[in-house]
A and B are shown apart, each in its own frame.
Chain A
Amino acid sequence: MVALARKTLIYEWRRFLPAMLAVGFAGLLQLLQIALVLGIFGATSLYITGSSADVWVGYPGTQNVGSGRSIDADVESRILLDPAVTQIEPYIWVDGDWRGPHETGGVSVFVSGIDPAADGLMFSRVLPPALRARLAEPDAIVVDRSALDQLGVGLGQIATINGHQVHVVGVASGLRALGGVNVLCSLDTARRLDSDVDDIGPTYLVARLRDPRQADAVAQRLRGDKAFGPYTAWSARDFARRSELYWLFDTGAGAGVLFLAGIVFLVGAVITSQTLIAAVNGSVREYATLNALGVGVAALRRVVLEQAFWVGALGLLGAGVFGIVMLLLAHSQDVPVVLNAPAALACILLVMGLAAVSGLAAMRSLRRVDPATLLR
């Protein structure tokens, strides 16, 4: 079979270049957008993904980690009764108002009171053991390196949260928060910083299981017991997703992402289809001659679709290479970008969908292929 579609694409590459660029840039834009959103909104579930707890217990109806309410401390003993649970610890979330040594105005901070023990579950994946141990000192805090300027504070300096003095004993990385600054301290320090008299217990209880794969089943089992006041349980995975989706959709960011994806798709499809249509129009006499010789319109349509496919594939390749370079660059500059397999797949689908839609649009202009016009 003579590879008409591919040979034409190679020979007349200049004609198809705008389509490939349009597809490529649409793919690149989409890729970077998704990576940025995942990177930024991944910060909202850092508390969960940065910790090694398998099950989270908190106030019923909690929509994201930052909006928990305190639960009864006695729930801990109930959770420990479950044979699947090997370790449990409280986690206290306090919304704080920060005053640094330098004037910064009000900065809202998210205080995370965690167990500073060496085998503590909270932030075990992001907090180095040495820093964790230093949190045991009264009023000691750890903040993210990138937040120092925002807080107007340096290592070893004193500041106040909710009117209580704290001192910065260390800086870590990977503790970025969204909409505020994360401050890590011990459970005791957090209790002192909490000015809300209604808070009678921890905000969450986090547990490690003998078999992490049982998280969903255990969480299910722990729900519904009202003996110690209202509480519920989620698997860590569930709660992380819940937090991310809350931010994505409740803040309108998700709608923004979808809207931009739609615009990118539309613009890409318009440029690509116009280019493909121009290519079809440029070859309309040749196509008409083939049709006169008896080559069916269906076969000609396949040629156009195949061209669209190759335009999509080459555009995708370009976007992939360029995208990886951009992501590496972003990483090196501490820009939060994350790309996972479903997101990459979504990009591929979007780009190939764009190419397919453009191909279908270009196919319509094959209606102008009428061999009788060659005889006039």
Chain B
Amino acid sequence: MHDPATAPAADQIALRAIGVSKAFVSGNLRTQVLHNLTLDIDAGELTLIAGPSGCGKSTLLSILSGLQKVDSGRVQALGSELGQLDLRALERFRLEHTGFVFQGFNLFPALSAFEQVELPLNHMGLSRDEARHRARLSLEEVGLAHRMRLRPAELSGGEKQRVAIARALAKEPQLLFADEPTSALDAVNGQMIIDILHRIASVHGTTVLCVSHDPRLVMHADRVLAMEDGRILSDRRPAASAIDNHGIPS
């Protein structure tokens, strides 16, 4: 786990989008999803991108995380120009620096919770013991120490999402991307996931970028970006005393 003392300071910029545009073409129909969008995401914060469905927030997430290429503009993540990395290098970057939590839990039915978390670690070049140690710590952190031998079929939705978070967390990523992590969950489980995500940002200093239209998340985010029609409408810090002006849309 990241030692908070060595975690990047909150005023550093983890992600930067400069003049990003993206459109999808379907037949003759061209839909502009992102309009010349410029944005900075600060390190060590839980940033929430909120907005109605179809506003482009998931596309923005996939572009900032290097899963998708931009039509125009640039994306910098942890100082790397993502546009200049080839497929291999992007995989390498994601392996070393990023974690993902998706709306669906996407767990392998055949693997126990422990194995789900251990699996990506095997590919990071960690020793077996180190991978297992991290997997255990990670599952303990999301409160599943007693359930880690169970398969997805034996876990509740909330538990599955916590396994998915543990899987991302065990990699000790600097960047954690979460797409609608609570939308498939009930209130109690949703709240638990929100608390965990918030804790990851504050304790580990991980930059957590979360896309959601869940109003409960707004209360816990360090920063909330409201999006509509591919543009950022507002940028506020619900609980913050010091508001800086990073990330005001152009």
Which residues of B are found within 8 Å of A289, using beta-carbon distances? Answer: 100, 102, 106
Which residues of A are found within 8 Å of B95, using beta-carbon distances? Answer: 293-296
From A4, A10, A299, A371, give the contact of B100 (CB < 8 A): A371
Which residues of B are found within 8 Å of A1, using beta-carbon distances? Answer: 122, 128
CB distance from B242 to the nearest CB of A (A): 32
Binds A, one of B6-14, B110-118, B190-198, B222-230: B110-118
Closest to B180 in A: A375
CA–CA, A286 and B109, complex, Å? 9
Closest to A290 in B: B120
From B68, B99, B115, give the contact of A372 (CB < 8 A): B68
Size range of the chain B interface in the assembly: 35 or more
From A4, A288, A294, give the contact of B111 (CB < 8 A): A4
CA–CA, A291 and B167, complex, Å? 13
A226, CB-defined interface residue at 8 Å: no
Which residues of B are found within 8 Å of A292, using beta-carbon distances? Answer: 65, 67, 94, 98, 100, 102
Binds A, one of B37-45, B85-93, B232-240: B85-93
A195, CB-defined interface residue at 8 Å: no
A285, CB-defined interface residue at 8 Å: yes
| B 145-198 contacts with A by CB, 8 A | 151, 167-168, 171, 179
CB distance from A283 to the nearest CB of B (A): 7
CA–CA, A296 and B111, complex, Å? 19
Contact of A293 with B171 at beta-carbon distance under 8 Å, contacts A2-B118, A375-B59 already known:
yes
Size range of the chain A interface in the assembly: 20 to 34
**Are A371 and B67 closer than 8 Å at their CB atoms?**
yes
Which residues of A are found within 8 Å of B93, using beta-carbon distances? Answer: 294
Which residues of B are found within 8 Å of A291, using beta-carbon distances? Answer: 91
CA–CA, A4 and B107, complex, Å? 12
CA–CA, A289 and B101, complex, Å? 9
Closest to A285 in B: B106
CB distance from A297 to the nearest CB of B (A): 8
Which residues of A are found within 8 Å of B107, using beta-carbon distances? Answer: 286
Contact of A375 with B108 at beta-carbon distance under 8 Å, contacts A2-B119, A293-B167, A299-B123 already known:
no
From B67, B104, B115, give the contact of A2 (CB < 8 A): B115
CA–CA, A292 and B97, complex, Å? 11
Q: Can you list, as one digit per residue, whether each of A170-209 has a CB less than 8 Å from chain B (1) or not (0)?
A: 0000000000000000000000000000000000000000
Which residues of A are found within 8 Å of B102, using beta-carbon distances? Answer: 289, 292, 374-375
**Are B108 and A8 closer than 8 Å at their CB atoms?**
yes
Which residues of A are found within 8 Å of B67, using beta-carbon distances? Answer: 292, 370-372, 375
| B 116-144 contacts with A by CB, 8 A | 118-120, 122-124, 128
Which residues of B are found within 8 Å of A8, using beta-carbon distances? Answer: 108-110
**Are A286 and B98 closer than 8 Å at their CB atoms?**
no
From B68, B88, B109, B122, give the contact of A12 (CB < 8 A): B109
A376, CB-defined interface residue at 8 Å: yes
Contact of A285 with B123 at beta-carbon distance under 8 Å, contacts A295-B95, A375-B61, A376-B58 already known:
no
B96, CB-defined interface residue at 8 Å: yes
Which residues of B are found within 8 Å of A12, using beta-carbon distances? Answer: 109-110
**Are A372 and B108 closer than 8 Å at their CB atoms?**
no
**Are A10 and B94 closer than 8 Å at their CB atoms?**
no
Which residues of A are found within 8 Å of B68, using beta-carbon distances? Answer: 372
Contact of A372 with B62 at beta-carbon distance under 8 Å, contacts A2-B115, A296-B123 already known:
yes
Which residues of B are found within 8 Å of A296, using beta-carbon distances? Answer: 88, 91, 95, 123
Q: Can you list, as one digit per residue, whether each of B28-52 has a CB less than 8 Å from chain A (1) or not (0)?
A: 0000000000000000000000000
CB distance from A306 to the nearest CB of B (A): 13
**Are B88 and A375 closer than 8 Å at their CB atoms?**
no
Q: Can you list, as one digit per residue, whether each of A3-14 has a CB less than 8 Å from chain B (1) or not (0)?
A: 010011011100
Which residues of A are found within 8 Å of B124, using beta-carbon distances? Answer: 294
Most A CB within 10 A of own CB, among B68, B106, B115:
B106
Q: Can you list, as one digit per residue, whether each of A270-310 has a CB less than 8 Å from chain B (1) or not (0)?
A: 00000000000001011011111111110100000000000
Which residues of A are found within 8 Å of B99, using beta-carbon distances? Answer: 293
Which residues of A are found within 8 Å of B111, using beta-carbon distances? Answer: 2, 4, 7
CA–CA, A371 and B98, complex, Å? 13
CB distance from A70 to the nearest CB of B (A): 72
CA–CA, A285 and B100, complex, Å? 13
From B122, B168, B179, give the contact of A374 (CB < 8 A): B179
**Are A294 and B62 closer than 8 Å at their CB atoms?**
no
CA–CA, A285 and B123, complex, Å? 18
Which residues of A are found within 8 Å of B179, using beta-carbon distances? Answer: 374-375
CA–CA, A370 and B90, complex, Å? 13
Which residues of B are found within 8 Å of A376, using beta-carbon distances? Answer: 58
CA–CA, A94 and B119, complex, Å? 74
Which residues of B are found within 8 Å of A370, using beta-carbon distances? Answer: 67
**Are A2 and B94 closer than 8 Å at their CB atoms?**
no
CA–CA, A285 and B107, complex, Å? 9
- A–B complex contacts, Cβ < 8 Å, 24 sampled: A1-B122, A2-B118, A2-B122, A8-B110, A11-B109, A12-B109, A289-B102, A292-B67, A292-B98, A293-B171, A294-B91, A294-B98, A294-B120, A294-B123, A294-B124, A296-B88, A299-B123, A370-B67, A372-B68, A374-B104, A374-B106, A375-B58, A375-B61, A375-B102
- Sorted nearest first, the 6 A-B pairs with minimum C-beta distance are A294-B95, A11-B110, A294-B94, A289-B106, A8-B110, A372-B67
Q: A11-B151, A289-B106, A292-B98 are in contact. List 13 more A-B contacts (CB 8 A).
A: A2-B119, A2-B122, A11-B110, A283-B108, A290-B120, A292-B67, A293-B98, A293-B99, A294-B94, A295-B119, A296-B95, A372-B67, A374-B179
Interface residues of B (CB under 8 A from A): 58-59, 61-62, 65, 67-68, 88, 91-96, 98-100, 102, 104, 106-111, 115, 118-120, 122-124, 128, 151, 167-168, 171, 179
